């Protein structure tokens, strides 16, 4: 089973242009900042928003084709949808919510049983905790036996303490589902733990896609680099160096063309005076924000090429850095990973 999507539409200030195919065996996460158009895309796939152009094809049968005007209404698409705030019908009991789509109380009770929620069958959704509501929403979406499962920020409405447990349950239910699975999230942890493949989306466009490892190793936008926590530079490669603005960064493996260069903050060393010795990349900047992360301190260095360095708190104390103080940074050419832009 596969779902191929070629969606183009404009909504408010957003222009959405996305094209990709989902296969049955994989769980795919759409990862992106708020306002990237992730929810809009899910709604378009479900037929709740019309496409301006493009098509949605499920297993060879056309669900929507803007060119021909073909349109299968939402209620006939066989798409299960878990909404961000779950949207359980407040006027129905939990079992009636689950039975709404499958049209059988017996089947609904079976689903509640499977989710460990049988004791809440006759309760109103308002009486349930966030995690329980999430499972009811999942049961409601799965009960009619859809061929596609769409989940919009399935854990965002939960508080942090319950999120880990619900995420584990969700992962189990996702792997038990036979069909196309697509979830939307702005939380990288959620994306990495639940999905086999990530599609990173910004401002309605795909920025990059691949397995979580691929995306983490080769970020292609500042958003992804920030998620992964690395320094991302973009410039022109020229035989062992990358020109970033006015700065030439020595980088092993840089040949030619437009490239990305990634430097891990741990590879960046800080000094009070100009360091002697081997590192090829040395320049002076100003200390920006300092952030403590467990046993590491992340120091932002302002300058022509802003960088983040990660040092131990002891080193930080020894350097005597405060915001605004001048500082030298250095990193080796071999610590720069270069790949084509």
Partner 1 sequence: MRREKAPLWIGLLAALGAAFFIIPLIGLVVRTPWGIAARSLTSADTLEALKLSLIASLSSTALALVLGVPLAWVYARVDFPGRSVVRALTTLPMVLPPVVGGIALLLAFGRRGLLGSWLAMVGVSLPFTTAGVVLAETFVAMPFLVLTVEAGLRSMDRRYEDAARTLGARRWTVFTRVTLPLIAPSILAGSVLCWARALGEFGATITFAGNFPGVTQTMPLAVYLLLETNPEGSFVLSLILLVVSLLVLVGLRDRWLGLGAA
Element spanning 80, H or E: strand 79-82
Compute the least distance from the CB of residue 102 to partner 1, in Å: 8
**Residue 122 or 278: which CB sits closer to partner 1?**
122
Residue 91 engages partner 1 in binding (rule: CB under 8 A): yes
Residue from 37, 54, 101, 179 in contact with partner 1 (CB under 8 A): 101
Q: CA 264, CA 154: separation in Å to the nearest integer?
A: 31
Residues 42-61 that bind partner 1 (CB under 8 A): 43, 46, 48
Sign of CA dihedral 268, 270, 275, 276: negative
Which residues are paired to 10 by β-bridges? 15
Residue whose C-alpha is closest to residue 338's, from 280, 256, 245, 222? 256
Question: Does residue number 331 form part of the binding site for partner 1 (CB under 8 A)?
Answer: no
83 is a contact residue toward partner 1 (CB under 8 A)? yes
Q: Tally Cβ neighbours within 10 Å of residue 268.
A: 22
Q: Which range touches partner 1 (CB under 8 A), out of 1-9, 80-88, 154-162, 192-200?
A: 80-88
What is the rounded CA–CA span in Å between residue 87 and residue 105? Answer: 19
Strands 14-23 and 180-185: unpaired
Q: How far is the CB of 21 from partner 1 (least distance, A)?
A: 21
- Which three-class secondary structure state does DSSP give residue 85? coil
CB 163 within 8 A of CB 9: no
State yes or no: residue 180 binds partner 1 (CB under 8 A).
no
Looking at beta carbons only, is 18 or 150 nearer to partner 1? 150
Nearest approach, Cβ of residue 95 and partner 1 (Å): 14
Q: Which is nearer to partner 1, 102 or 327 (CB)?
A: 102
- Site string (115-144) toward partner 1, x via CB under 8 A: -------------------------xx--x
Q: How far apart are alpha carbons 261 and 220 in whole angstroms?
A: 10
Interaction site with partner 1 (CB under 8 A): 43, 46, 48, 73-77, 79-81, 83, 87, 89-92, 100-101, 140-141, 144
């Amino acid at each position: 089973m596969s779902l191929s999507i070629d969606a183009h539409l404009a909504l408010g200030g957003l222009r959405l242009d996305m094209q990709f195919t989902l296969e049955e065996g994989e769980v795919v996460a759409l990862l992106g900042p708020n306002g990237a158009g992730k929810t809009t895309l899910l709604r378009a796939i479900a037929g709740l928003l019309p496409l301006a152009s493009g098509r949605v094809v499920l297993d060879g049968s056309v669900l929507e084709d803007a060119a021909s005007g073909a349109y299968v209404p939402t209620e006939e698409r066989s798409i299960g949808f878990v909404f961000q705030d779950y949207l359980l019908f407040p006027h129905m009991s939990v079992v009636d919510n689950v039975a709404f789509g499958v049209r059988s109380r017996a089947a609904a009770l079976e689903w509640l049983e499977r989710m460990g929620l049988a004791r809440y069958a006759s309760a109103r959704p308002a009486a349930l905790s966030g995690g329980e509501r999430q499972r009811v929403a999942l049961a409601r979406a799965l009960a009619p036996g859809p061929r596609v499962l769409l989940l919009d920020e399935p854990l965002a409405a939960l508080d942090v303490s319950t999120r880990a447990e619900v995420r584990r349950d969700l992962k189990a239910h996702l792997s038990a589902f036979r069909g196309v699975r697509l979830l939307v999230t702005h939380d990288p942890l959620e994306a990495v733990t639940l999905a086999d493949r990530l599609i990173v989306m910004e401002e309605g466009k795909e920025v990059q896609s691949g397995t979580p490892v691929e995306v983490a190793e080769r970020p292609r936008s500042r958003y992804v680099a920030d998620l992964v926590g690395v320094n991302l530079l973009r410039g022109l490669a020229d035989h062992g160096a990358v020109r970033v603005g006015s700065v030439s960064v020595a980088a092993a493996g840089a040949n030619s063309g437009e490239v990305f260069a990634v430097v891990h903050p741990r590879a960046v060393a800080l000094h009070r005076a100009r360091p002697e010795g081997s590192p090829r990349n040395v320049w002076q900047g100003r200390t920006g924000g300092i952030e403590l992360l467990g046993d590491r301190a992340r120091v932002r260095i302002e300058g022509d090429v802003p960088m983040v360095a990660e040092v131990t708190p002891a080193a930080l104390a020894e350097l005597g850095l405060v915001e605004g103080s001048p500082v030298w940074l250095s990193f080796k050419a071999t610590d720069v990973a270069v790949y084509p832009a």
